[in-house]
Structure formats: C-alpha cells, structure tokens
Amino acid sequence: QVQLVESGGGSVQAGGSLTLTCRASGFTSSNYCMAWFRQTPGKEREGVATISEDGSTSVTAAVKDRVAIFQDKANHFLYLQIDSLQPEDAATYYCGAGETSVMSWRLDCLLEANYWGRGTQVTVSS
C-alpha cells in the first residue's frame, strides 16, 4: 500500500515562498507517478504539477511561472516550490500518486493518481 505524507504547509505572506514535501513509501512498481494537487472549500481538487517515472514534469499553466516540482527519487520524496505566493494559492495541498505493473504504460497522474496523502494547508496573508 502506497502511503503519502505531506508537510511544509503554513501561513506565508503574499510574495513569499514555500516548499512542500511529500514523503512516499510502499511503491511496488518502478513505474509510478507523483503529483501535487490543491483544493479549496467548495471547489474540486485541481492538479498543480506532476512528475513522471522518467523525471519529466508538467505544471499547470496558471502557476507555471511560480511553481517548480522536483523529487529525490532514490528516497521517494516529492517537493513543490511555490514562489511569489498569492492569496489565490491558499488551499490544502495534496500529494497524489499512482503506479502500474505495466512498464510500457505512461501514467497520467492528473487522471490516474489513486493514492492520496492527508494534505497540508497553505494560507497566504496579504
């Protein structure tokens, strides 16, 4: 069973930066993906950034200039750096992951993440 634990959330002033961490464990396949999502009350969870098994990354266009996703693959840590935080970045941020034993399948974590952490909350004060 894949387990994901997020940390690093908190209260930050607008314009500041934050790095979120996700610690993953329990992968049984080397073909997996990880991603960051966020959700605010009353809204659907939205994908922020993903990273594939081969290290390729994708960041949603709305935050592309301010967000970086990177990983310590050997130790299964995933990070999300958010710069120039804005009030609309305030949300609960979730780490998601998916894995498959089909080595030829390229996972799309935005659609195929089926493991979730409990989230870490980010608040932004103006």
Over residues 16-54, the pLDDT tens digits come to 999 999 999 999 998 999 999 999 999 999 999 998 878
Q: Which residues contact 63 (CB under 8 A, 6 or more apart)?
A: 48, 49, 82, 89
Question: Per-residue pLDDT for 110 more than 90?
Answer: no
Is residue 31 a contact partner of residue 99, using CB atoms and an 8 Å limit? Answer: yes
For residue 98, the cross-strand partners are 33
Is residue 99 a contact partner of residue 28, using CB atoms and an 8 Å limit? Answer: yes
For residue 91, the 8-state DSSP code is: E
Q: What are phi and psi of 89, to 5 degrees?
A: -80, -10
Question: Per-residue pLDDT for 83 more than 90?
Answer: yes
Question: Per-residue pLDDT for 72 more than 90?
Answer: yes
d(CA 121, CA 119): 7
> What pLDDT shows up at residue 79?
97
> What pLDDT shows up at residue 27?
92
Share of the chain above pLDDT 90, in %: 78
> What pLDDT shows up at residue 54?
82
How much is the average pLDDT of 60-76? 92
